Amino acid sequence: MTNIDENLGGIIAAVPTPFDGKNQPLLDEFISHCHWALNNGCDGLNILGTTGEANSQSVANRQAIMKVAAEKLDVSKLMVGTGLSDLATTADLTLFANDLGYPVALILPPFYYNPISEQGIIDYFSALDKQLGYAEIKIYLYNFPALSGVKFSVEVIKQFAQKMPHRIAGIKDSSGDIAYCQEIVKAVPNFKVFPSNEISVAEAKQNGFAGCISGSVNVTAPLATKLWNGVGNKVELSEKIAELRTEIASLPLIQAVKYLVGLRENNSNWNSVIPPLVGLSEVQIQQVETISKKLKQL
C-alpha cells in the first residue's frame, strides 16, 4: 500500500473515461490512455473527476475503474474523485480508494442542499474524517462552484488546515480564479494548490502552486510538462498552450478532449458520453479535427 501524497504535483491530467454502447467503462482503452499520459509528460493522473464523468457512473463502475487503475498503474501517481452528495457513499468510496493504496481522494463539497452554510461544510468534512478513521488517504478539496454551487472560502480552508492537517492537504480549483488560488497559498502554508488550467503553469512555481490538474492536459501534456520543467522557450510554449487550451475550452470540454483522444488512438469508442452530456455536432467535430491537426504538428 502506498498512501503517500508528497510526490503528487506538477502536470496532472484529469483523465476521461471511454464507454461502450451501454455506458459501461472500457477498461483496456482507459488504461491505454493513462499510460500515454504518463509517458508523455504527466506527473500524475486524476481519475474519476469531472472529465472522467464520475458523477454519471454507478458506484460499482467507479470501483471497477479505481481497481484496475491501482493494479495497472503506479498508484502513487494517482488521485481519485470520491465525492458524492451523501456522506456515507463518499466515505465508503474513499475507504475503498485507501485500501487500494490511493494517496489522495479529490472530494466535492456536499452539493445538493443549497445554500449550504460554512459550518455545514465544516461539519460534513469533520464527519467524513471521523468515518475514515485511521485510513492514511489524504483529501484534496474540489472547488468547482460553477457545477457544485458551493465554493470553499479561504476561511473554511484555513479551518480545515488547522483542525484536520492530517487529512485535508490540498485543493483543485476549477473556478479559474487565479487570485483565489494565490490567496490560499498566502493564507495556508504547505497547502497544495492546483489550478485547473495549464495556462497557469507559466507562473505556477512563482505563485507557489503545486502544479495543475486539467482535462485538456490529456492532449497538451507534452507542452505543459516542458513549461513546468523550464525546458524550451517559456513565451513560445505559453502562447502555444494558451491557443490550444482556448480552442478546446471553446467547445464542450469533456466531449472535445475525448474526441481528441479518440482521433489519436483511432478509436471511436472515445466519442461516447453518458447522458445528460451529448455528443459533438458536425461543426464542432470539424473544429476538433482542426485542433488535432495542430497537435500532430507539435
pLDDT tens digits along 247-293? 999 999 999 999 999 999 999 999 999 999 999 999 999 999 999 99
C-alpha distance from residue 4 to each of 7, 34, 45, 102, 211 (Å): 7, 20, 15, 8, 17
Domains identified in the chain, total number: 1
Task: Give the pLDDT confidence score for residue 6 in this predicted structure.
Answer: 67
pLDDT band of 298, cuts 50, 70, 90: confident
Q: What average pLDDT does range 132-147 have in this prediction? A: 96
Total-model pTM: 0.95
Task: Strands of the chain (E only): list them.
Answer: 10-14, 44-47, 78-81, 104-107, 138-143, 168-173, 192-195, 211-214
What share of the chain in percent tops pLDDT 90? 93
Is 30 domain-assigned?
A: yes
Is 293 domain-assigned?
A: no
Strand ranges of the sheet holding 44-47, from the earlier edge strand across to the other edge:
192-195, 168-173, 138-143, 104-107, 78-81, 44-47, 10-14, 211-214
pLDDT per position as a tens digit, 72-116: 999 999 999 999 999 999 999 999 999 999 999 999 999 999 899
Is 31 domain-assigned?
A: yes
Task: Give the pLDDT confidence score for residue 296 in this predicted structure.
Answer: 87
In eight-state DSSP terms, residue 279 is P
- DSSP 3-state assignment of 259? helix
Alpha carbon distance 131, 92 (integer Å): 9
- 126 sits in the region (left: phi over 0; alpha: psi -120 to 50; else beta) called alpha
Look up the CATH number of the domain holding residue 212. Answer: 3.20.20.70
Radius of gyration of the chain (CA): 18
The domain in which residue 110 lies consists of: 10-232
Task: Give the pLDDT confidence score for residue 7 in this predicted structure.
Answer: 73
Is 264 domain-assigned?
A: no
pLDDT band of 3, cuts 50, 70, 90: low
Is 268 domain-assigned?
A: no
Is 255 domain-assigned?
A: no
